[in-house]
Structure 1
Amino acid sequence: MNLSAAQIRATKRHLRAALRGLFRPEPLPMAEWADKHFYMSAESSYSEGKWTSDPYQVPILNMMGNDDIEEFNWEKAARVGYTKAIVIALGYFAEHKQRNQILWQPTDTTAEGFMQQHVNPMIRDVKPVRKLAPWLGKKHSDNKLDYKKFTNYRQIFVLGGTAAANYREKSVDVAIYDELSKFDEDIEGEGSATQLGDMRLEGSSFPKSIRGSTPTRVGECQLTKAAEKADERFKRYLPCPHCDEYQTLEWGGPDVPWGIKWDSPETVLNAYYVCQHNGCVIEQRELKGMDQRGEMRSESGMVTRDGLTFYRNGKQVDPPRTVSVHIWSAYNTRTTWGKIAHKFLQVCKDPIELKGWVNTTKGEPWEEPGERVDSDQLYQRREHYPAQVPQAAVVLVCGVDVQDDRIEASVWAFGGDQRGTESWLIEHRIFVGDPGRWQLWDEFTDWRLSTFEHESGTLLRIAATCIDTGHKTDQVYKYCKKYEGQRVYAVKGGKDPIAPLVGRPSRSNKAKVLLYTLGVTTGKDVIYGRLKINEPGPGYMHFPMAATEDYFKQLTAEELRIKYVNGRATRVYHPIRKRNETLDCCNYALAALDILNPVFPALAARLQPAEETEPEPVPTEAQNYQKQRRARSSGRGRKKGFANSWRN
């Protein structure tokens, strides 16, 4: 069959039209797509024009677009390209990967502004996306202030994150959170933004959650919390142009020999970088070449140069499912190390402005300055006691902390003045074993009932004991119930930071045991305040030579910080070390003393050197009051004094 030229042309035209629906563009990584298609619009850029990815941005963009990575967190400084990156992502996923997306801003107002300033110009100026939006610039049902629908049936939602309703009834493939740290921690009592938003990804073949923000405060920053949970946490490593050793760019600071340095305040704008390996001096102009040879390395040793292929120990491995990256202003070639240092000198004396510099320049959460005690100084002031219990110490109490595999107990002696504020650590004992078995508690009981020799020659027993119920609760309840007559009390920590040291006891528990709720913060205030006293006397805490360095590290394992809750400053003790058992034991011993409420002048009078060595019960204020009443009612002399009236 012979076809004319016109028929051949018509056949080709119809075949092309028929096959056009099957066409798929060549798969491109996100960074390559951006360099090929993305345009920086005048409304949202310092300089309008074609986009070119900086070397450090290439692996970041590609990780954002990598289908194997389901969660991406970016801890960032300001002006390092996150906003542009998520606008690129919107265009890339809508046009190239044909995915439905939703982007949340902290508020409805910022969502509207983002759509007008960034999304609409992107649709207009990025040609492949523009072809999918015939409604651009017109009133149309597919062109709304919070919603765009393209001719390939893909959608973009841009919503505020304050209302729980904005996280419902939408099924998407990509969820993006801009400035996550500024979102409410709990959205109308239904959960966090990422918890609610990522639910919209269920059912997607290629779910993607992208989060980014400049951090806020330590312990409160939602982005930092999310980043800490990631499978791999990446930082940018650059080679020194002189010794070729790879390193992250660090601020350094005045006490660190490497990092950003300057010769004098007058020449701060000419700041340079000092290599942490060999002290090489690196000039600002060398940064771009360093970045071109840079790579991303995780804390566990995973390496990637392009965000697409990942290596460990030189062997290619699968990409991680969740990642985080940290980039701060020192990597940005659009600023200088001199400007970073100059800004630091301007704000370093103002804590409020310094906090903003740490967040927006270093890309790190601000840590409120904490009050802490130096464990080394306490270790250095250990002393030899003249006896197991020194003369000025008049009463022994015990604080007990229960763990899953041991019992730890501290015996403290108090005295020194009429209020008994001076204290001596007598012994810290660890009983290793299962606290769920009575055998370990029997061993503890034998020790608890033992005697300690006082300098006067008197033998003293522990007068009161407080045991924490946080671990092995049922067993602790049984033990305290059994020995309640020996002043063994069950205690638990309360959450109120201004509660008194010991609250009113209650038997509202399944064992009907006398249970005291402690003001833990109040107790730590007392302990840390007294640890700062450097001269023996009221409030001073003495330690024996047997106390170990680890004992003092645990005793000082927390620091006092100011935490802001709903805009209100709250004092909290923040752990700086994992173990703090000796601190807890000290706190429980302080509670035992408070419950006991001994009469210190009477005890001091008793414990003058004498022949009698048999342990005697410790008088309390209530007991002393009853003794005095009986003495007065029987006509026996009141002239014998406070201590003698107790003996009557």
Structure 2
Amino acid sequence: MNLSAPQIRAIKRHLCAGLRVLFRPEPLSMAEWADRHFYMSPESSYVEGQWRSDPYQIPILNMMGNDDIEEFNWEKAARVGYTKSIVIALGYFAEHKQRNQMLWQPTDTTAQGFMQQHVQPMIRDVKAVRKLAPWFGKKHSDNKLDYKKFSNSRQIFVLGGTAAANYREKSVDVAIYDELSQFDEDIEGQGSATQLGDMRLEGSSFPKSIRGSTPTRVDECQLTKAAEKADERFKRYLPCPHCGEYQTLEWGGPDVDWGIKWDSRATVLQAYYVCRHHGCVIEQRALLGMDQRGEMRSESGMVTRDGLRFYRDGQPVDPPRSVSVHIWSAYNTRTTWGKIAHKFLQVCKDPIELKGWVNTTKGEPWEEAGDKLDADHLYLRREHYPAPVPQSAVVLVAGVDVHPDRLEGSVWAFGGDARGTESWLIEHQIFPGDANKWDVWKRLSDWRHSPIEHESGVLLRIAACCIDTGGHNTAMVYKYCKQHALERVFAIKGSSRPGIPLVGRPSKSNKGNVNLYLIGTDTAKESILGRLQITEPGPGYVHFPVAKKIDREYFEQLTSEKRVPRKKDGRIVKKFEPVRDRNEALDCYVYALAALEILNPDYPALAARLQPAEETKAEPVATAAQKYQRQRRARSSGRDRKKGFANSWRN
């Protein structure tokens, strides 16, 4: 039978159409799919261009895409690729495995931002996904800010995790949680985010729950709790380029003999790695080669190199149902060990910043050294100052607590370094009397104006003072602060709401029409708790003088509150609660920290002006005091009143 050319072409066309329904793409692992298809969009990447998986990312991506692994938890540092990995997962499961997905962010706002910054650019720039989105760039029922539906009938939902309604009705194959540690522990009293979200997977042939986050506190971090329940917990093991022994990369520091070390004598900090097996010195440039030969090992001895095939004692085994992995910044070839060490040296003396470094650089939960301090231990730390204000202290501030029958105030000195984190208690005074009468306030003014001798011989005055308005005699405090505003006397009101800054912007929306500063008391107390736990003089350390009024009662007041876990809005938060009635010493320290924050002094400049000089040391204290009294009388005469007190605290 003779067929014409048009007939042959028609037969081929119909055969192809009939066979097209049987077509299946070449099976690809998630890492292979990413290296072939994924493109890093300029909106969400430091460098635009084709994706190339780092060696440590290959087994992680493949575990995320492995159908045998139903639950995947990633305890991570910042900037190790989790966000990019979950965007890859969205594209991979939508295009290659053709599955419905739902991704939750901690809030609705972050969900919308994630869709705009990551998902929509991915759909635009990844050609394999773009061909499934004929609606892209158009108003369409399949193209919404929280929902995308592709031409293969697969869907992606991106929702906030604060409302229980966002976990209902929809059925999906893949549930993804971004920054799980930031979710409420109990969503509107109905259960945790993973408990509600994973219910959407019931009925799926290949259910997958992906969770990731930088950890928070040990007893609060939801991701850490989920990771601890995993069947297998994996870490990345790399071979030493010298002895060949495998080991995880560890933070070394000054306390151990292996891990990341540095030469503190070098002009530019040079970091290196010391092998824990034979003490081999490993340079940064060897990291990529080590990682290319690395493998993931679990605590029980399970091993995988690619996240697809698993072994135990050299024999193949089935993949675990649930896994967790831990990767921290030392594995990231886009940073350096020197930068990690440099950042540690910047924050190591500040407990608040150190906590952030542990969470975001080491990818580990922060474990508090203690939630209450021992008063006796602090009492025994008292010391004899060489002068009323030691040389390293460069600025004085005060905090005043108001009671109906007295005022109590503390003077604190700060300095020690360019950031002024070291502090010295100078004195604590009680002014008995009716706080609604001016007599007690006049005595407070005399106290504030009294000069205190610095070790250099210079007489210092209190540069700023904060007075609490949230307790008693508020109207009188407003009047006093308004009269002495030019002397940097600030009215404050405390707030125990977690997470607010130490000092907020001032507001005049009050009966006294004064600048009223909102103070984050829990923020300040957390800082104080961390400072008091530092045991060696230096940045962050708190000094106490041997003085009659700095007695054991003072330290009982300073340690009068402890941090306890409480459930609020569905999640566990730690709040400071009193363990005794009197806490004036602690409150005065909080208010002094607030005064320091408002003042924002230039510590290096002040330190330069307080260098010991022979002529200053030779001048008798009485003569300096006489000069001060003459200056004060001149100011009271009115000649200098317009100039105020802008620079008087430095003299």
**TM bracket (short chain):** 0.5 to 0.7
C-alpha distance in 2 between matches for 1:310 and 1:46: 34
Map of 2:143 onto structure 1: 143
Query: Secondary structure in 2 aligned to 1:333?
Result: coil
Map of 1:211 onto structure 2: 211
Map of 1:379 onto structure 2: none
Map of 2:581 onto structure 1: none
Alignment of 1:476-491 (within 5 A): none
Alpha carbons 1:69, 1:319 under 8 Å: kept = yes
Deviation per residue, 1:214-247 (Å, 9 max, x gap): 0000010000000000000000000000000000
How many equivalent residue pairs? 388
Deviation per residue, 1:55-82 (Å, 9 max, x gap): 0000000000000000000000000000
C-alpha distance in 2 between matches for 1:28 and 1:268: 45
Alignment of 1:200-599 (within 5 A): 200-264=200-264, 266-267=266-267, 269-370=269-370, 563=565, 566=568, 567-569=573-575
Query: Secondary structure in 2 aligned to 1:254?
Result: helix
Map of 1:166 onto structure 2: 166
> How far 1:134 moved relative to its partner?
0.2
> How far 1:264 moved relative to its partner?
0.4
> How far 1:10 moved relative to its partner?
1.3
Q: Residues 349 and 204 from structure 1, CA distance in 2 versus in 1: closer, same or farther, beyond 3 angstroms?
A: same
AA partner of residue 326 (structure 2): H
AA partner of residue 569 (structure 1): K
Query: Secondary structure in 1 aligned to 2:234?
Result: strand
C-alpha distance in 2 between matches for 1:54 and 1:320: 23
C-alpha distance in 2 between matches for 1:571 and 1:82: 37
Map of 1:403 onto structure 2: none
Map of 1:111 onto structure 2: 111
Alpha carbons 1:369, 1:561 under 8 Å: kept = no
**Is 1:79 aligned to 2:106, yes or no?**
no
**Is 1:184 aligned to 2:184, yes or no?**
yes
Alpha carbons 1:368, 1:561 under 8 Å: kept = no
AA partner of residue 152 (structure 1): N
Query: Secondary structure in 1 aligned to 2:84?
Result: helix
Alpha carbons 1:176, 1:211 under 8 Å: kept = yes
Map of 1:9 onto structure 2: 9
AA partner of residue 209 (structure 1): S
AA partner of residue 71 (structure 2): E
> How far 1:344 moved relative to its partner?
0.5
AA partner of residue 167 (structure 1): Y
> How far 1:370 moved relative to its partner?
2.4
> How far 1:19 moved relative to its partner?
2.0
AA partner of residue 209 (structure 2): S
Deviation per residue, 1:596-641 (Å, 9 max, x gap): xxxxxxxxxxxxxxxxxxxxxxxxxxxxxxxxxxxxxxxxxxxxxx
| More displaced 10-residue stretch of structure 1: 18-27 or 317-326 | 18-27
Deviation per residue, 1:482-502 (Å, 9 max, x gap): xxxxxxxxxxxxxxxxxxxxx
Map of 1:199 onto structure 2: 199
C-alpha distance in 2 between matches for 1:568 and 1:371: 10
C-alpha distance in 1 between matches for 2:323 and 2:123: 29
C-alpha distance in 1 between matches for 2:116 and 2:10: 44
Instruction: Give the superposed CA RMSD.
Output: 1.9
Map of 1:551 onto structure 2: none
Alpha carbons 1:268, 1:338 under 8 Å: kept = no
C-alpha distance in 2 between matches for 1:268 and 1:101: 48
Query: Secondary structure in 2 aligned to 1:188?
Result: coil
Q: Residues 365 and 562 from structure 1, CA distance in 2 versus in 1: closer, same or farther, beyond 3 angstroms?
A: farther
Q: Residues 372 and 280 from structure 1, CA distance in 2 versus in 1: closer, same or farther, beyond 3 angstroms?
A: farther
C-alpha distance in 1 between matches for 2:221 and 2:259: 26
Q: Whose radius of gyration is greater, 1 or 2? A: 1
**Is 1:32 aligned to 2:32, yes or no?**
yes
Map of 1:641 onto structure 2: none
Alpha carbons 1:269, 1:337 under 8 Å: kept = no
AA partner of residue 314 (structure 1): G
Alpha carbons 1:563, 1:571 under 8 Å: kept = no
Q: Residues 562 and 267 from structure 1, CA distance in 2 versus in 1: closer, same or farther, beyond 3 angstroms?
A: farther
Q: Residues 271 and 208 from structure 1, CA distance in 2 versus in 1: closer, same or farther, beyond 3 angstroms?
A: same
> How far 1:176 moved relative to its partner?
0.1
C-alpha distance in 1 between matches for 2:577 and 2:174: 39
AA partner of residue 74 (structure 1): W
Deviation per residue, 1:416-468 (Å, 9 max, x gap): xxxxxxxxxxxxxxxxxxxxxxxxxxxxxxxxxxxxxxxxxxxxxxxxxxxxx
**Is 1:57 aligned to 2:63, yes or no?**
no
AA partner of residue 258 (structure 1): W
AA partner of residue 25 (structure 1): P
Q: Residues 28 and 158 from structure 1, CA distance in 2 versus in 1: closer, same or farther, beyond 3 angstroms?
A: same
Query: Secondary structure in 1 aligned to 2:255?
Result: coil
Query: Secondary structure in 2 aligned to 1:226?
Result: helix
> How far 1:569 moved relative to its partner?
2.3
C-alpha distance in 2 between matches for 1:254 and 1:368: 20
C-alpha distance in 2 between matches for 1:96 and 1:73: 22
AA partner of residue 180 (structure 2): L
Deviation per residue, 1:341-400 (Å, 9 max, x gap): 000011111111111000000000011112799xxxxxxxxxxxxxxxxxxxxxxxxxxx
C-alpha distance in 1 between matches for 2:281 and 2:563: 38
Q: Residues 167 and 246 from structure 1, CA distance in 2 versus in 1: closer, same or farther, beyond 3 angstroms?
A: same
Q: Residues 96 and 265 from structure 1, CA distance in 2 versus in 1: closer, same or farther, beyond 3 angstroms?
A: farther
Q: Residues 57 and 353 from structure 1, CA distance in 2 versus in 1: closer, same or farther, beyond 3 angstroms?
A: same
C-alpha distance in 1 between matches for 2:186 and 2:340: 35
Query: Secondary structure in 1 aligned to 2:91?
Result: helix
Q: Residues 50 and 262 from structure 1, CA distance in 2 versus in 1: closer, same or farther, beyond 3 angstroms?
A: same
TM-score normalised to the size of structure 1?
0.58
Map of 1:446 onto structure 2: none
AA partner of residue 159 (structure 2): L
Percent identity reads 86
C-alpha distance in 1 between matches for 2:265 and 2:189: 50
TM-score normalised to the size of structure 2?
0.58
Query: Secondary structure in 2 aligned to 1:271?
Result: strand
Q: Residues 19 and 267 from structure 1, CA distance in 2 versus in 1: closer, same or farther, beyond 3 angstroms?
A: farther
Query: Secondary structure in 2 aligned to 1:28?
Result: coil
AA partner of residue 80 (structure 1): V
Alpha carbons 2:235, 2:327 under 8 Å: kept = yes
**Is 1:99 aligned to 2:99, yes or no?**
yes
Map of 1:517 onto structure 2: none
Q: Which runs of 5+ in 1 are unaligned?
A: 374-559, 573-648
Q: Which runs of 5+ in 2 are unaligned?
A: 374-561, 579-651
C-alpha distance in 1 between matches for 2:296 and 2:268: 29
> How far 1:570 moved relative to its partner?
5.3
Query: Secondary structure in 2 aligned to 1:91?
Result: helix
Map of 2:452 onto structure 1: none
AA partner of residue 222 (structure 1): Q
Q: Residues 321 and 359 from structure 1, CA distance in 2 versus in 1: closer, same or farther, beyond 3 angstroms?
A: same
AA partner of residue 323 (structure 1): V
Q: Residues 31 and 571 from structure 1, CA distance in 2 versus in 1: closer, same or farther, beyond 3 angstroms?
A: farther
AA partner of residue 29 (structure 2): P
Q: Residues 269 and 21 from structure 1, CA distance in 2 versus in 1: closer, same or farther, beyond 3 angstroms?
A: farther
AA partner of residue 254 (structure 1): P
Query: Secondary structure in 2 aligned to 1:247?
Result: strand
Alpha carbons 1:237, 1:294 under 8 Å: kept = yes
Alpha carbons 1:251, 1:259 under 8 Å: kept = yes
Alpha carbons 1:41, 1:121 under 8 Å: kept = yes
Map of 2:23 onto structure 1: 23
Query: Secondary structure in 2 aligned to 1:262?
Result: strand
Alpha carbons 1:262, 1:268 under 8 Å: kept = no
C-alpha distance in 2 between matches for 1:188 and 1:293: 47
Alpha carbons 2:71, 2:321 under 8 Å: kept = yes
Deviation per residue, 1:490-527 (Å, 9 max, x gap): xxxxxxxxxxxxxxxxxxxxxxxxxxxxxxxxxxxxxx
> How far 1:18 moved relative to its partner?
2.4
